[in-house]
Amino acid sequence: MISSALKINMDASPKTEVEYLIVGQGLAGSLLGWRLLQQGKSILIVDPCLEQTTSRTAAGLINPVTGKRLVKTVNVEQYLPAAKLLYDELGCFFGEIFLHEKRQVKIFKSEGEIAQWEKRRNRPDYAPFLGESIHSEDRDYLKEDSLGGFEQKQCGYLDTVSLLDRLRAFFVEQGCFINSEVDLDELKIAEQAVQWLDCSIDKVVFCDGYQLQSNRWFSWLPLQPVQGEIFTLETDQQLPKEIVQFGKWLLPLSDGQFKLGATWQWSPLDEQPTEKAEVELLDACKEQFPKLKNARLIEKKVGIRPGTRDRQPFIGSHPHQPRLMVFNGFGSKGSLMIPWYSALFSRHLTKGDNLPETVDIKRHADGCPLS
Ligand SMILES: Cc1cc2nc3c(=O)[nH]c(=O)nc-3n(C[C@H](O)[C@H](O)[C@H](O)COP(=O)(O)OP(=O)(O)OC[C@H]3O[C@@H](n4cnc5c(N)ncnc54)[C@H](O)[C@@H]3O)c2cc1C
């Protein structure tokens, strides 16, 4: 359902006065911008429109139970319905499907993982997310000596590039998007408002992804950025019909194309593809899917996940500059978490609802310099 407050703006000229300046049009800035427009707020989103960004690199996988230890994401019972609702709402608005619900299989890579699965499968809180066991004879891509695996429920992927393109075009149409980088030296903070060029702003919200680490007002937050690579390949061979997690993952697309990911590199944090990642991804793929050994590599993408030490996002106001705010730190789960937190944060901004302590950046205020 689209809120009646979302009115089409007939005056799309650049704004000189706005309530919120959103710095960054990744998934965080875009979904927050959408929520604020729905509530009738005036916004301006600024982003340099780079071809390769973290949100545009991400495969957008939604996966409630992850890792070798098969851990259920904390609060996934809240995040998932919020994500489905928002992506459906956006799908209806733009007449396009962005969230593709898809079956997923997790293949065991060790006896330890099987032991972990045995523990989890009997827990009622895991039941909505864990499906049937799978044995080597159930799938033609499993070898005879495979340890098998199991089906995962409520999985899928978000087509982030299509969604961000559609939202950008919409923001442009609404006269609330500027293709540029915000030079932080150009933000003039006064008691009454923040001035950026010829625009007067009530609050600035930084949705600047991993670039938060060089943001002069928020670099004290303990960000843990992690670089990652994802490839797109093409094959004439039959692909699995489902997403397969095998230490790495394979996401089948249409026309023989598939995505293969992802790597995790803590340093160096540059945005260039590496030979190491190529070896790591292609070797893992060949070992699990020998028939795909001649697949053609058609695209490599690199991004930097805005991870945090406690795996909780960074949301809230600067301790000494209340006009400056942050909405960031969604790590490797932006597609799942941002819909929920964009609703929560927009209610905080527009209705004064409290932020949970677990995500409020007040929890790190001890690390904030005094000036
Ligand atoms: C390899 C990889 C795989 C991933 N896979 C998944 C996955 O399967 N599922 C999932 O949910 N998540 C995944 N993620 C994580 C997901 O991408 C992030 O959680 C999410 O995209 C973060 O969005 P964001 O808007 O906070 O950051 P970003 O996408 O980094 O957006 C920040 C934006 O701010 C802009 N910006 C920065 N500084 C300025 C400035 N001064 N002025 C103007 N604009 C500025 C940038 O150009 C950028 O467009 C993956 C990430 C990577 C790297």
Please give the distance, rounded to the nearest whole angstrom, from the Cα atom of residue 338 to the centre of ligand 1. Answer: 11
CA of residue 54 to ligand 1 center, whole Å: 3
- Residues 101-144 pLDDT 10s: 999 999 999 999 999 999 999 999 999 999 999 999 999 999 88
Task: Return the CATH number of the domain spanning residue range 101-155+224-308.
Answer: 3.30.9.10
pTM of full prediction above 0.85? yes
More confident residue, 13 or 227: 227
Ligand 1 atom nearest residue 327's Cα: 26
177-179 and 43-47: which strand pairing? parallel
Min mean pLDDT across 6-10, 110-114, 232-236, 331-335 is at: 6-10
The CA-atom distances, in angstroms, between 175 and each of 56, 207, 331 are 23, 19, 30
Least confident of 143-147, 149-153, 194-198: 143-147
Identify which of 305, 315, 337 to mutate to test ligand 1's pocket (most ligand atoms within 8 A of the CB): 305
Q: Which residues form ligand 1's pocket by a CB distance below 6 Å?
A: 23-29, 46-48, 50, 53-55, 57-61, 181-182, 207-211, 228, 230, 261-262, 303-306, 328, 330-336
Tokens 């960054």 — which residue? 24
User: How far is Cα 301 from Cα 53, in angstroms, rounded to an integer?
Assistant: 9
Does 7 score more than 80 pLDDT? no
Asked if 341 and 353 touch (Cβ cutoff 8 Å), the reply is no
Residue type, 291: K
Which of helix, strand or coil describes residue 52? Answer: coil
Instruction: Give which of 235, 150, 231, 195 is closest to 44, Cα–Cα.
Output: 195
Span(s) in the chain for CATH 3.50.50.60: 17-57+160-222+310-367
**Where along the chain do the CATH 3.30.9.10 domains lie?**
101-155+224-308
Q: Is residue 38 predicted with pLDDT exceeding 50?
A: yes
User: The domain 17-57+160-222+310-367 belongs to what CATH superfamily?
Assistant: FAD/NAD(P)-binding domain (3.50.50.60)
